[in-house]
Structure 1
């Protein structure tokens, strides 16, 4: 993110680049008219149960015929908005913290002191817990799709709480916030990114993680990965590390997650571009290399500073690789292509701690949020949906060449099944039309628009896999308001995708699928564009088809906002929200869980989790928004009510609520609380009284008072299914 706005959270400074300057069509272009300001409505008392001790009181569909325990009514009292430094869940529910930054994953790693002196992060939980998935284990420790008391949690460790280059909470004195960065500090930061697999279990009352489990595993920025799919062997992936372009190192800025129909974990590499440095003269050094256009399109202008300055820590290879400049005689002698080895969906088999991570290039290279799979059917292709999380980016679909074989749901070699379905297929980008229909635009050399493109030279499908954004530009996909998580409704197969916000949306660029443009006031400051975000949904006759119908399921808004222009979903104090981000459907109940990562409404409430009973595309109607002489017609889902949409959880100060998974019986819900206290200033790192948050230490978990990202598990006190 190269532009910071009033409602951009601190960790987004390097995360929401505005690199899409293409003229892809918006439906109409006119002058901006008068825009409304919000009214602030603050909730009354807190209805719910607060997390106050270590034990506390208070998805992508992949087949099947629908939820096992369908919910037809939300069975809990809504949690009120709050700005307290705690997690609050509904009355009758309990939340327990089970796994936090720094927790040991091997017997060799000492207990986490949480004072900035800890090391060995390759043997500990990483930072910024994000996407998460459940993988069951039976009593013998074998994979089980039904197990609900013992299993593995595979999760992303997206980034780190930082300021002025340094990840200050993991360094004793906050670290050195200038160049060159000390190697010892960079070494820690390299290790806290990536993935982890951790075994958890329940005795029927309490959950715990197993620090010495043989299944426990860390994947970091230094872990070797295999390149698979059409980009394997491409000249654009050649580096000093591997001239064959079949291997790379690590995974980075992993955000959303998914679970494949064959039982593996898939994770999206999102905002990796900001970790790289390019010399100010690099454009000239590359001469007429077409990669200059691609580097700029992917957010790396020459001379731009990197997020952490890792490239400055010394001449050793683990630091030099973050310098993306062409400084050698060829790509075999430098890391000019290193950035091209990031931006993919990666696949991991959580049950096999020795199997290599695989980068699935056929799914395209972008700022991947998560990946969600359509319900699979025998003899039909496997279909997956993805969003590219940046302002003005696109929504994508992948259709496999291979047809689904139900036997692969229990494949002996799960990653070989991944090779079968994810290495070959066709990628598409979405175009939304103003009549409530849309089409998927093929991104392949078979499409003459791409093969004959004057916008960018594509020579092969490998080029399309590596320079996917430029291919979507070339075909004229619709620029969206930051596409993030997607989920597939297990009841009817419809696809939901969160569009979290867009401060760059203007009246001139408003269109049917991104129709709102308004002004919002926070602490006396104006926030403009699509401030609160929305959720769009798609209906297809068959997942592999080239056309779809769409409407906007939910317009996020404050309860007191103008109901004719902003609060179009009729939200109230029990369910208003801003910046929907995470979105997962329960396979047990069919509920849609929506999580927020917000900076626009945080003067009124911390980020939250809400439960929704989804409807169906077309269950609402058309609505026209007027902006002076411009009229924007859009399609709005059925208005929400207390019966269909409620707030389930509100988190601690400064935290994003993200990552969600459940046990197969729907009786345990795992949630990730990311970057509590992220607005703390580095200068105050040694003064706990000045931390924005002290969670989870103030809830009785662990040592020290520095805030930590953590996983919680939520259960009903009566042992029932969650949400019913």
Structure 2
């Protein structure tokens, strides 16, 4: 454990060249790779899948035969036959090939245009993008690392009906890459996670710039006669950042676990962080997910140990991976010493929690609701939906007079899938975010026979009592992972985006990968230790707390994959690491990939090229590759206008695969989207239209 003085000495050595800059935090994990925090003995999904396949007596034929057999017919409860041939397909485009080019590739007959890249001015004094932009200027510009998003028609009445020519595009900004953000980094030997230091500290304005590049952008857009989209200079444009005041609502609001120096009553906090996927409420508001937020903090508290001082973290820090060494961006080392930066050191420094920021990490990890049409409204963190690494939240289509139902995944290896059911019914005339402050949070248990159970994480139920370490409902929600451990939830392989088919109400979730699964956790029916490829699961609700599940697709190379139709994936559709997911009004399933920047276009991943987006027809089981992205990026975020004739997708962290020495020499492998030697790569939204004006995908 290093105290602040030791950290400053460490960074001074980095500046002097005694320690390479790219090793300043040797424990730093790749983006999206949280430290493995789940040490419970709960069953893994791998073991359940293995048991299920074993019951079908398909062990002898290997993975492809086993899973093809699983898709082939309803031999046991919960399994459905493979899709039957349909007269027509939902997919009317020709698949694009795998690509390593530094560009966007779409099918013939489509056009892709770039929109609102990082640094695009949208509010205030509208400062133009420049590498020398200040932290204050960044708060008036589009943030960095675009992720989940939604297009809200300008009428402001429905999230899915209304104008297809004008609206608000609300975009998450997951994280930042400091070496591409600061003039001080130019020519330095920095990898994609390193931060520039000034002596023993960080320059406060650079920290401010990074914090203001996080959060959410709300951008008023209008389509022109040329069919291009432009930013409207409007009072509706605004930024929500890592500094924006936010309310904490629901059962945990006011809990002792949420009290800080900033909010002694535990009802407020500042900012939203690491916003990955999103959600859209039936009452026309936006939900920003707080995913890998734990790494933004450090806690240097210690207790005496046999070998000297040992880290001493409360379970609400330890179970989520708060660092005992350095935080991800070392914001707590800003040289101004201002509290908005110092709060990222969660060590106990005062006499009580209201004298310091020991509870600051507990104010993150929630779903944050934003009203895009009310610039004066404060974001609301809804604690009833649980605290974990939220990838996003997806809602079942609301039914008048029935509870609101939504689902969320905890994006870390061996974590869980959750469901929330509101206590009060949905009434369109009065519905609001209050519906998300009272209800029941459940966690999923998958059974080998294709059935599943939702287990309530409710105080006094299923052993969640003071005798077992849970003081009240607030304690359960702040420690959602621990409560899910206790009730025996099924450990999944990085549950990421979810989607609900608006026509069938089936729920789909991507399980991106799990390279930490050991050989002891699999069997012949699930022979994927160190699983690099990932898959997609789906289920139907069969009751208030029961469901039936199957696998939609097993991603991977042709020799180790199974399509929804029960065949191996081919050159037209093979993919790995499914991440982003969306189902359009016609039931096309749009799948986006996130091959980690550390392995893109190398070794066993070389055959998959750059990250991509595909479309699937669940009726026929067909999948086709629709788009490939530029170098070093992740394709993420996808939504269409109500008429389905404009599609928005996001390109995140282009050029992230540039090696540290190449960055120092200015030899970058991507300059997307500007393709200028004077401009670094920038995350951006891409607008896709069909040249004949038709529906995207047909």
TM-score normalized by the length of structure 2: 0.83
User: How big is each residue's C-alpha offset from its partner over 1:191-234, in whole Å with a ceiling of 9 and x where there is no partner?
Assistant: 11111100111124333332522111101111000001001100
2:137 aligned with 1:113, yes or no? no
Greater CA deviation, 500-509 or 430-439?
A: 500-509
Q: CA deviation at 1:558?
A: 1.5
Aligned pairs for 1:100-499 within 5 A: 100-106=117-123, 108-114=125-131, 120-138=137-155, 145-162=161-178, 172=186, 176-177=196-197, 179-210=200-231, 212-279=233-300, 281=302, 292-301=314-323, 303-314=324-335, 315-408=337-430, 417-419=432-434, 421-451=435-465, 454=468, 457-499=469-511
Aligned to 1:24: 42
Alignment-derived partner of residue 61 in structure 1: none
1:473 aligned counterpart, secondary structure: helix
Q: Is the 8 A contact 2:136 2:208 kept in 1?
A: no
Q: Distance in 2 between matches of 1:91 and 1:221?
A: 41
CA shift, 1:541, in A, is 2.9
Distance 1:580 1:143, change over 3 A: closer
What secondary structure sits across from 2:509 in the alignment? strand
- Superposition map of 1:519-598 within 5 A: 529-542=530-543, 545-559=544-558, 561-562=559-560, 569-587=567-585, 589-598=586-595
Closer, same or farther in 2 for the Cα pair 1:563/1:723, shift >3 Å? Answer: closer
Q: What does 1:675-714 align with in structure 2 at a 5 Å threshold? A: 675-685=653-663, 687-688=665-666, 690-698=667-675, 704-714=678-688
- Following TM superposition, by how much is the alpha carbon of 1:179 offset from its aligned partner in structure 2, in angstroms? 4.2
Instruction: Give, in whole Å, the separation in 1 of the partners of 2:583 and 2:41.
Output: 35
Do 2:260 and 2:356's aligned partners in 1 also have CA atoms closer than 8 Å? yes
Partners of 1:283 and 1:125 in 2: how far apart? 47
2:5 maps to none
Report what 2:72 is aligned to: none
How far did residue 516 of structure 1 move? 3.8
Q: Does the CA contact (< 8 Å) of 2:496 and 2:579 recur in 1?
A: yes
Other-structure match for 1:635:
none
- Give the CA deviation at 1:300: 1.9
With over 3 angstroms needed to count, the CA separation of the structure-2 counterparts of 1:343 and 1:485, relative to structure 1, is same
- What displacement does 1:509 show? 2.0
Q: 1:223 to 1:283 in 2, by over 3 A?
A: farther
Residue 546 and residue 313 in structure 1: after superposition, are their counterparts in 2 closer, same or farther (change >3 A)? same
Deviations 1:472-517 (A, max 9, x none): 00100000000000000112101000000001112322389xx744
Distance in 2 separating the partners of 1:169 and 1:547: 55
Cα-Cα RMSD: 3.2
Give the Cα separation in 1 of the matches to 2:565 and 2:35. Answer: 27
Partner of 1:611: 615
8 Å Cα contact 1:193-1:220 kept in structure 2: yes
Query: What residue number does 1:505 align with?
Result: 517
User: Take 2:499 and 2:158, find their aligned partners in 1: how far apart are those partners?
Assistant: 28
1:22-101 equivalences under 5 Å are: 22-26=40-44, 27=47, 72-101=89-118
SS of structure 2 residue aligned to 1:346: strand
Q: Contact between 1:11 and 1:162, CA under 8 Å: does it hold in 2?
A: no
Distance 1:123 1:35 in 2: 58
The alignment partner of 1:86 has SS state of: coil
Q: Quick check: 1:198–1:209 contact (8 Å CA) kept in 2? A: no
More helix as a share of residues: 2
The alignment partner of 2:205 has SS state of: helix
Q: Which residue of 1 aligns with 2:73?
A: none
Deviation at 1:15, TM superposition (A): 3.6
How far 1:563 moved relative to its partner? 5.8
| TM-score normalized with structure 1 length | 0.80
- Say if 1:105 and 1:212, in contact at 8 Å, map to a contact too: yes
Show structure 2 runs of 5+ residues with no match: 1-27, 52-58, 65-86, 189-194
Matched positions, count: 622
- CA distance 1:170–1:584, change in 2 (3 Å): farther
Match of 1:718 among 679, 692, 695: 692
- 5+ unaligned residues in a row in structure 1: which ranges? 1-9, 39-69, 412-416, 519-527, 616-637
Task: Tell me the SS of whatever aligns to 1:398.
Answer: strand
Alignment of 1:655 onto 2:676:
no
1:125-146 Cα offsets, whole Å, 9 max, x none, are 11000000010115x9999931
Q: CA 1:239–1:288 in structure 2 vs 1: closer, same or farther (change >3 Å)?
A: farther
Distance 1:218 1:203 in 2: 24
Match of residue 626 from structure 1 = none
Contact 1:87–1:649 (CA<8 Å) still a contact in 2?
yes
Distance in 2, Cα, partners of 1:462 & 1:328: 24
Asked if the contact 2:537/2:551 (under 8 Å) is kept, the reply is yes
Judging changes above 3 Å, is the alpha-carbon distance between structure 1 residues 469 and 288 closer, same or farther for their aligned structure 2 residues?
A: farther
SS at match of 1:100: coil
1:169, distance to aligned residue in structure 2 (A): 7.8
Checking the alignment, whether the CA contact within 8 Å between 2:120 and 2:142 is kept in structure 1 is yes
Question: How big is the shift at 1:570?
Answer: 1.5
Distance 1:169 1:679 in 2: 20
